[in-house]
Structure 1
């Protein structure tokens, strides 16, 4: 009936038609509005009002309800149309049930009905009620509230499921098939697919929302996220390198709903994107996730705290600790013998009339320090006084301490500065911390044959990192603490001796990933600086591939990206060694270039070979080693550019002697 005069209200009630609150967003993934932004969010509240009879909410999926135009009074349609007497109700067949607002008892000996206002219990749902409409059987003393009496009429059509959903008879404590969480309260189930059951809160989730970091209105993602009711397809996950939830950092498994923005590869679990029906636009910030973290330290307590990533390729731990800030007098000349070099070193304060140029990847000019093997990008620096010798050092690398006491990975003995690894070919050694080859300066314990590169000699106790802001990252020893999850930069397990982690968030980084990947790099193929990214770029829906090695790129691992040119580079393909640009590769698991600490170049004389050879990294065209017949690609090799002579760096035979040319 369009109009109804109900006995509970003095005014006429009008029937109001409602539209379903959901539309299935799964079918129009490609049709998402490209111009959506947070200012255009329209919150369609599924809550319409409250029924004055059953005291429960009226939702848009109820399709219609009765309302008073003169005052704020509403009734469910099925509550308003309840008869005063029910015959053969499914929950109590055989006897008549009488509608009442109070608890009533009839004396069997006399025709007398006594009314009580005290608390009573519904015999169906076993909930305590007071002053609540109910149906009562005077013969059996059976009483049920009108919520249970109308249960068969409480249904919904939900876009997540092809069949109509029926409300469960009682309040349940069960896992929800939408979010996977354990809920207590009202559930709806499918009478055809008996396994399908969703909690009312999940059934009312908005089809689109903006995920927030906190209640201050700061949004962690620019675009609206769309609710997808079907599980994240395995094929699609595989194509996107199995993305993780941006809030909890866990994978997407099972038949769970999720929120996603496919244009930005931004995905979250339903349970992570929403904290409840009353706060549907407030994301849960979980420990260990990517959400906003609140600062857990005071700056005054850590005056020399290292903030990573370092700004560019020239900065490192040594610049932080030993760079001259105008406090010391810089010598014009230093004795090279102090650094195991046969010639004196002179200070270069200007490049006028000099035969060397600062490192500049845009001009394909490389100048690497022989101490830390990092680019020299600023004046002053030291170079060998001999014109034909290419030995150069950062100014701060000449002031390294000659001893390190109590190194965190080798506290038993002191480590001594070794400008040239004794007895090693070209001074190449394997660092005990980062496990990378190095031919720069080292700190070592000769007694234990323990050697580390000079950067790993000064690993700090604590750092901060832009990828996990506001929390301190503490150094840990892998032998004493094994994190549950791998490195957040490269997603491999931390098997190196030392690493950094946030103890409250299970956020972990390799030492080399934390300290050796700069914030920006420059490349000759892009006129703009490329910035380090920790997640896929926004508004970039195409596939990622590396501009250097031309392999596919997993944007869930750290990578470099230029928003203006839409170009990307693996972090391990970043051009720290210009002569290796053609031969870098993403084959290694770590995020660092395999020979990050190796200075290639130099011409050498080999006995039994007529030409000079160069110390380079092998490429595919170099073929196989003349000694072991294994491929030379990606390896350190000696190569003759006048003939096809080439062999692995480690394959020199006893009768092969490497002699620096005169």
Structure 2
């Protein structure tokens, strides 16, 4: 939640906000008359006087010139500071850097760039730099104190605590572990044979198949984890949230299908998720794919690296799916390319049960065959598709290969619709694809939705059927 830059308290339902400056103030603070002078030794040795006019002076603390906030000045020293900047913290911990960072009134004469917005820092003005002497991390004052980066706590004078790392598993013997999410059984490390591919065998963490490489398999049941997923840290910081996130997951119990990933909006119940345990923002969660993606993001469909430069409450148009949401952004001159988390986390390489080779994700590339192998409809290369780079000429829509619901665990997920329990099941229960009870078309995706004796191809058909049944 945003805080008022004047009183540093949480904003109410109605407040003043300037999106270019990320400046927000409560109505009461705007209407309140400022003090004519202040004495604040942490910021300046002399008494500061209120500047009587609204003007575009440059604040020595934040390097911004917006005049929506009152200025205080020290004429003999040529010192200028916003009223709101007087309350800037001295020492903070942000989610984008492992060390504490502290306020500095100016930077040395090197070229400094803000590690949050990726823009150049003016050395003459204040900002934040890393506590660790061997680290060159730096950030603008307003960037470092954004509500999606900083937790609002000033750590000046607070001793730094070393957070203990909880290991995700206990080693039982060579190649055998006991994972925290599956404590009742032991898991054995195995190697996926290249030609032995079963699309129904899903990693219970990321809900994607084991295409190749090592994985852990339960010695008593069907529980599977990619080796990478088994080693996921149990606690992390993520660039888009100010608090620590905790990995939660389980197996064997039907999961309620109601929560979405806060980054990509895919439904993420039934998979492992990173959740915020802090009171007030327990609804924040990330699926494994969004939690482990990092910046700079190297995307095959764009020539420049992408960064998370968006401010709180700011959404941009994704250049691929054209939805307005939180995005990775290109910072190169005259380039406004943006990529949302949903598009950024689509797997680059996948397997198809009717092709022995790996398929790769392609955007805008020419292909010999411009129709989908599964649905036999045309493919728009600009929207993305999977293709075989060998001589098979296999091409598939992204949704036809991955499905409409990417990270739902079939057989272990359910939700309620108009009081009816809806089971999410794998679409491999019959010799042929079943007919949807609502749209009367074949259920071609990997999942089907079952309500009593009815089968549906998607959640939209479930909702429409329930609506008509009222």
Larger radius of gyration between Structure 1 and Structure 2: 1
Task: State the TM-score, normalizing by the size of structure 2.
Answer: 0.48
